[in-house]
Amino acid sequence: MTIIRAYRDNGRIFRVDANGHAGYVSNGPDVVCAAVSTLVQGSLLGLIEIAKVSVSQIYKDGQLTFTILDSNISTRHSADIILETMCVALRDIEKDYPAHVKLEEIY
């Protein structure tokens, strides 16, 4: 199972921690894992390349963690849009594959 934790402070996501493999299929390409990975990695790239937000990141097999280091108001608005969109999409995948994906929002 892939567990994604979105940590919030005052309602805003400041850290994302994605761990594990979805395990939707035991042999061959795992479309659920690929979808989750694409969303989380794409959001990280959006933060860096589009929103120009400073982040720290840890990437290992089966784990991606990133934390926003930038509190600039102008970049933070773009970051919020990217991260909230990621959560909406992850909730949709979680709804369809509850045995394989879990999104936890930590306040």
Backbone angles phi, psi at 63, to 5 degrees: -145, 135
- When pLDDT is averaged across residues 38-63 and rounded to a whole number, the result is 96
pTM of the model: 0.94
Nearest to 18 by CA among 72, 51, 96, 32: 32
pLDDT at 105: 97
The pLDDT of residue 67 is: 98
Question: In the chain, what are the domain boundaries?
Answer: 2-106
Q: Which CATH number fits domain 2-106: 3.40.50.300, 3.30.70.1490, 3.30.365.10, 3.30.2320.80?
A: 3.30.70.1490
Write the CA distances from 24 to 20, 21, 96, 103, integer angstroms. 12, 9, 12, 16
**Would you state the pLDDT for residue 41?**
97
Tens of pLDDT, residue by residue over 83-106, are: 999 999 999 999 999 999 999 999
SS3 41: helix
